C-alpha cells in the first residue's frame, strides 16, 4: 500500500520533533544587514532560461514539455536542469542535486534567467548548499512562488539580488500572467500592481472577483519582502532572513486553517517582523475557510487582530498567491503602497 504524502505542515512538525529528540538546541540567528539592491539583467527575446526544480518532485514528464513550450512561446530558449525529474520521496531529488542545478544555472553564461517548475517543499533544505558568491557575481532573474519563498528570501538577504515572486513553470500562463511578466521582466517597466477590476459577469452590477478589503488606509514606502507565510515562518531564526525594518511585507498561503494563520502571524509578531514593517499586504489564502459552523475565528478576524493594531497601511485580497491570475512581484525592490487603493507601485524598474 502506498503511504500518503505528508503535507508541508507535517514536514515542519516532524523536523522540529526530530531536532528536539536529538537534543538540538534551536537558537535565533541575527538577521542579515541591509544589502545594496542588485537588479538582474532584463530578459530579451532569444535569451535562454534554465528550468530548475528546487523543491517538490515533478511526477509527469509531460509537465516539462508544457513548461518548455510555454517559454518558447515567450520567444525564449530553454535549458532543462539535470535533475528536474529526479525523485527522492516527495522531493525532486537529493538536496545536493537540487542545489547543484540552482548553482549550475547561475554559473552558466548562456542562461539569463531561472524558472522554478513548481513549489511544494524543499527549498529551505538546500539553502546551506547555495553558492551565494556565484549569484553575487552573476545576478539573474529567478521566478517562482510558494516554497520558492525560501530561495527569494535567502538570496536577497545574502546578495541583495531582486528576485521575482510570480507564476512557476506549471502555473496557468493566461494573458494576465503573461502581461505582468512581460512588463516587469522584459520591458523593465516600473509598474503599479492593481487587482483586475473587470467584472466576472457582464451583467453584474458590482465587482465580485478580485476585491480587496482595507484594514488600515494610508501610503507607505519600503523594500518589498515576504512571500508564503508558512515557508517564511519556517526559516525565522535562521541566517537566511533579510532586515525587515521599514519593509513592505507581503504574505500569502494555501490550505491553512485560520488558527494556523493566527499562530504564524503571532510568530512573526514575536520575532519583531510585523512591527518592523511600514505596510502589510496580504494576498490570497486559498482554501483557508474556518470550516462549517464557524467554530473558529475567520481569516478576516485573524487579519484584523494582527494587522490593524500595527497602525500601518494594510489590506488583503491582492492578486498574490495560489491563484490562476497573479502578479510578478519584485522581491527586494523599493515600492510605494496605497492601502485605500490596493496598489503596489514600483519606484524604479526591477531589471537592468
Q: What is the pLDDT of residues 301-319, one digit of tens each?
A: 999 999 999 999 999 999 9
Taking only the tens place, the pLDDT of each residue in 90-123 is: 999 999 999 999 999 999 999 999 999 999 999 9
Read off the pLDDT of each residue in 201-219 and give the average, rounded to a whole number: 87
pLDDT of residue 49: 98
pLDDT of residue 23: 36
Model confidence, pTM: 0.89
Query: What percent of the chain clears pLDDT 70, i.e. is strictly above it?
Result: 88
139: Cβ–Cβ under 8 A, 6 or more apart, which residues?
38, 39, 40, 41, 159, 161
pLDDT beyond 60 at 157: yes
Catalytic position from the list 83, 152, 316, 322? 322
CATH 3.40.50.10740 domain residues, the chain: 48-186
String of b and e for 197-234 (b: at least 16 CB within 10 Å)? eeeeeeeeeeeeebebebbbebebebbbbbbbbbbbbb
Taking only the tens place, the pLDDT of each residue in 180-192 is: 999 999 999 999 9
Please give the C-alpha separations between residue 336 and each of 135, 143, 281, 300, 341, in angstroms, as whole numbers: 27, 22, 12, 24, 12
pLDDT band at residue 13, thresholds of 50, 70 and 90? very low
Catalytic position from the list 83, 146, 171, 316? 146
pLDDT band at residue 293, thresholds of 50, 70 and 90? low
Burial of 7 (0-12, 13-18, 19+ CB in 10 A): middle
Taking only the tens place, the pLDDT of each residue in 238-262 is: 999 999 999 999 999 999 999 999 9
pLDDT beyond 50 at 70: yes
Read off the pLDDT of each residue in 118-139 and give the average, rounded to a whole number: 98
Q: What counts of helices (H) and strands (E) characterise the chain?
A: 11, 14
pLDDT of residue 294: 64
Residue with cell 473587470: 198
Is 172 known to be catalytic?
no
Is 252 known to be catalytic?
yes
Cα gap 205→129, rounded to integer Å: 54
Instruction: Write the class of the CATH domain 192-346.
Output: alpha beta
Read off the pLDDT of each residue in 9-38 and give the average, rounded to a whole number: 48
48-186 topology per CATH: Rossmann fold (3.40.50)
pLDDT of residue 59: 86
Which residues does residue 164 pair with via DSSP β-bridges, in sequence order?
Answer: 143, 330
pLDDT band at residue 33, thresholds of 50, 70 and 90? low
Nearest to 261 by CA among 272, 242, 274: 274
Is 306 known to be catalytic?
no
CATH 3.50.30.60 domain residues, the chain: 192-346
pLDDT beyond 70 at 5: no
pLDDT beyond 80 at 14: no
Catalytic position from the list 152, 171, 238, 252? 252
Which residues does residue 49 pair with via DSSP β-bridges, in sequence order?
Answer: 78, 113
Assess contact for 321 and 284: CB atoms under 8 A: yes
Amino acid at each position: 500500500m502506498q503511504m500518503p504524502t505528508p503535507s508541508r505542515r507535517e514536514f515542519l512538525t516532524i523536523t522540529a520533533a526530530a531536532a528536539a529528540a536529538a537534543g538540538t538546541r534551536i537558537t535565533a540567528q541575527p538577521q542579515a544587514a541591509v544589502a545594496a539592491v542588485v537588479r538582474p539583467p532584463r530578459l530579451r527575446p532569444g535569451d535562454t532560461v534554465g528550468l530548475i526544480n528546487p523543491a517538490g518532485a515533478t511526477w509527469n514528464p509531460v509537465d516539462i514539455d508544457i513548461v518548455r513550450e510555454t517559454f518558447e512561446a515567450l520567444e525564449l530558449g530553454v535549458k532543462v536542469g539535470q535533475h528536474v525529474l529526479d525523485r527522492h520521496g516527495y522531493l525532486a531529488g537529493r538536496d545536493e542535486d537540487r542545489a547543484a542545478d540552482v548553482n549550475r544555472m547561475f554559473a552558466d553564461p548562456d542562461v539569463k534567467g531561472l524558472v522554478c517548475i513548481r513549489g511544494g517543499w524543499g527549498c529551505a533544505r538546500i539553502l546551506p548548499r547555495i553558492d551565494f558568491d556565484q549569484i553575487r557575481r552573476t545576478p539573474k532573474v529567478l521566478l517562482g512562488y510558494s516554497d520558492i519563498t525560501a530561495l527569494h528570501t535567502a538570496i536577497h538577504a545574502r546578495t541583495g539580488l531582486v528576485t521575482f515572486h510570480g507564476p512557476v513553470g506549471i502555473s496557468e500562463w493566461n494573458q494576465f500572467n503573461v502581461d505582468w511578466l512581460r512588463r516587469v521582466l522584459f520591458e523593465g517597466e516600473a509598474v503599479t500592481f492593481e487587482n483586475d477590476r473587470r467584472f466576472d459577469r457582464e451583467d453584474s452590477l458590482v465587482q465580485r472577483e478580485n476585491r480587496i478589503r482595507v484594514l488600515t488606509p494610508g501610503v507607505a514606502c519600503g523594500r518589498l519582502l515576504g512571500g508564503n507565510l508558512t515557508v517564511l515562518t519556517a526559516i525565522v531564526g535562521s541566517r537566511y532572513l533579510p532586515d525587515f525594518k521599514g519593509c513592505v511585507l507581503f504574505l500569502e498561503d494555501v490550505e491553512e486553517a485560520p488558527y494556523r494563520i493566527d499562530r504564524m502571524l503571532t510568530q512573526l509578531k514575536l520575532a519583531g517582523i510585523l512591527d518592523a514593517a511600514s505596510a502589510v499586504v496580504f494576498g490570497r489564502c486559498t482554501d483557508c475557510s474556518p470550516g462549517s459552523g464557524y467554530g473558529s475565528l475567520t481569516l478576516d478576524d485573524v487579519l484584523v487582530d494582527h494587522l490593524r493594531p500595527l497602525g500601518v497601511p494594510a489590506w488583503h485580497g491582492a492578486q498574490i498567491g495560489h491563484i490562476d491570475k497573479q502578479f510578478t512581484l519584485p522581491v527586494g525592490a523599493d515600492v510605494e503602497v496605497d492601502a485605500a487603493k490596493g496598489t503596489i507601485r514600483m519606484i524604479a524598474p526591477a531589471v537592468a
